[in-house]
Structure 1
Amino acid sequence: MSMKIATVQLWVHDQDAALEFWTKKVGFQVTSDVTVPEMGNFRWLAVGPVSQPDVSICLMALPGQPIMDDKTQEQVLDVVGKGFAGSVFLTTEDVDGDYARLVAQGVEFVDKPEDRLYGRDCGFRDPSGNHVRLTQLNPDFPS
């Protein structure tokens, strides 16, 4: 099979705030930033780790009418803000070092690095509320 994961999506409240967070604080690079006037100025904004140029996270603004009515949009934003619309799982070779670097950049963590069965792990949320886990995997734990 030749399929690969190229892009995953996170709903965001504000694409510019999400862009600043993921690039300036987390250290990802912009992989795509295209606005399409013919589609109501739809903006395809994606970021990804410098070490993985073929993988990205699309920072997707919630669509309005006719795709999503106001009530549904409000419900989705509420769920995102609570951290239940999706998670991103990042791995690292130095969770404590990356934790310290991200804290220094102003990233607010929901928990500090802690040893777990599968590795050393911590979590933070982006400005929209999306949950992000940062893990240094235990090499002895089955994947």
Structure 2
Amino acid sequence: MTQGVDVVGLYVRDQDEALAFYVEKLGFRVHTDVRNGNYRWLTVQHPEQPSFQLGLFKPGPPVHDAATAQALNEVVAKGAMPPLVLVVDNCRAAHERLSARGVEFTQEPVDRYGAVDAGFRDPSGNGWKMIEARTKPRGAQ
């Protein structure tokens, strides 16, 4: 049996705001955007990872009651969720490019653990680490 992760979901406070951020600033593209009453299934993909989707989901009915949705929104806004990781070829160049598009960084690029990384948040408060892909040493497979 083949298995794999297809969609990872993020809670966002406003799906239109999140969509604009991920598409216009980070360069993702829309995969699915469908509605069923008040519920909206919205996913985006990184253009270089077409088999993986990032869900931009708003807490609330039909999945959550109002109190749970409010609690989830508060946790996300505080940046309390574990950071997601965006791998880039050149962290400093990506930082420059994304800053020019209006992405606000919480951490400037820094050399750490043998790589360069930086941090930013989406408009809902979800934390991201942007890490420069390590090149394999010669002879490594």
SS of residue matched to 1:50: coil
Please give the TM-score of this superposition, normalised by the length of structure 1.
0.88
1:107-132 alpha-carbon deviations (Å, 9 max, x no partner): 00000110111411001000000001
In structure 2, do the counterparts of structure 1 residues 33 and 67 end up closer, same or farther at CA, with 3 Å as the change threshold? closer
Q: Give the structure 2 partner of residue 11 of structure 1.
A: 11
In structure 2, do the counterparts of structure 1 residues 83 and 50 end up closer, same or farther at CA, with 3 Å as the change threshold? same
Q: Which runs of 4+ in 1 moved over 4 A?
A: none
SS of residue matched to 1:89: strand
Residues 61-140 of structure 1: pairs in structure 2 closer than 5 A: 61-64=58-61, 67-139=63-135
Give 1:3's aligned amino acid: Q
Find 1:51's aligned residue among 48, 70, 86. Answer: 48
Give 1:84's aligned amino acid: A
Find 1:42's aligned residue among 35, 39, 43. Answer: 39
Give 1:33's aligned amino acid: D
Identity value in percent: 38
How many angstroms does 1:67 deviate by? 4.1
Pairwise CA RMSD: 1.7
Does residue 20 of structure 2 align to residue 20 of structure 1? Answer: yes
Distance in 1 (CA, whole Å) between partners of 2:69 and 2:81 is 13
Give ranges in structure 1 of 5+ residues lacking alignment. none
Distance in 2 (CA, whole Å) between partners of 1:134 and 1:93 is 10
Give ranges in structure 2 of 5+ residues lacking alignment. none
* Counterpart contact for 1:8–1:58, Cα < 8 Å: yes
SS of residue matched to 1:127: coil
* Counterpart contact for 2:76–2:125, Cα < 8 Å: yes
SS of residue matched to 2:89: coil
Distance in 2 (CA, whole Å) between partners of 1:60 and 1:106 is 22
Number of residue pairs matched by the alignment = 137
Q: Give the structure 2 partner of residue 2 of structure 1.
A: 2
